[in-house]
Amino acid sequence: MPLGILKIVQAGDPVLRRPARPVTPEEIRGREMQQLIEWMRETMRDAPGVGLAAPQVGLSVQLAVIEDRPELLASLAPERLAERQRRPVPFQVLFNPRIELTGDQVEFFEGCLSFAGFSAIVSRSLRAGVSCLDHRGEPLTFQAEGWHARIVQHELDHLNGTLYVDQMRSGSLTTMENLNRYWSDVSIQEVLERLRCGVAD
């Protein structure tokens, strides 16, 4: 394993089911937490993924990193990017994040680095107002929309001990191989019509 690449824990590890503890500004500014930020960034990029929460690397603290790089969007057709409202997101560090959700709920396939090899349809809000501490321990607020809002919601679930499979549409779980084979260039509406899947209880 390359230096700075952390092991991503998988579903079933108890750390993924515990609410993470808040982090103080003093901790954030400390050497260990600054090193963790860098290691998490490298781990997320190596995976590759668009977000990573500290519980996913075995640490029950309220820290998530997010980055949706342009090269990750290159393989998607323009109409799929538009449907998802997906645009590049620069690297972000979120400590102790809180969100206020607004806008319609939309459904798309969603995956997780801690549930490797699978994806399922999950409903998320289109907009999220976020308040958190940044990598310097300073207050930060921003608005996330579209796919960015989905990423934020997914990572905050991790900090609360929740996985996307807890709220997926029943019947929509698929391997990544079959997602790419059958559904990668199909609108979400057509996917739902063809799967005729229901909402999980």
Number of structural domains found in the chain: 1
Domain membership flag for residue 6:
no
Q: How confident is the model at residue 197 (pLDDT cuts 50, 70, 90)?
A: low
**3-state helix vs strand vs coil in the chain, percent to 5:** 35, 30, 30
Task: Give the tens place of pLDDT for each residue, 40-86.
Answer: 999 999 999 999 999 999 999 999 999 999 999 998 899 999 999 99
| Residue 93, CA distances (Å) to 99, 132, 149 in order | 15, 9, 15
Return the CATH number at 161.
3.90.45.10
Domain membership flag for residue 50:
yes
Domain membership flag for residue 83:
yes
Q: Is 155 a catalytic residue?
A: yes
**Rounded to two decimals, what is the model's pTM?**
0.94
Domain membership flag for residue 70:
yes
Domain membership flag for residue 99:
yes
Task: Give the tens place of pLDDT for each residue, 152-173.
Answer: 999 999 999 999 999 999 889 9
Q: What one-letter code names the amino acid at 94?
A: L
Task: Give the tens place of pLDDT for each residue, 95-122.
Answer: 999 999 998 999 999 999 999 999 999 9
SS3 115: coil
Catalytic residue among 32, 155, 177, 193: 155
Domain membership flag for residue 102:
yes
What is the domain range of residue 19? 14-199
Domain membership flag for residue 101:
yes
Domain membership flag for residue 24:
yes
Which residues, 6 or more positions from 199, have their beta carbon under 8 angstroms from its beta carbon?
A: 123, 169, 170
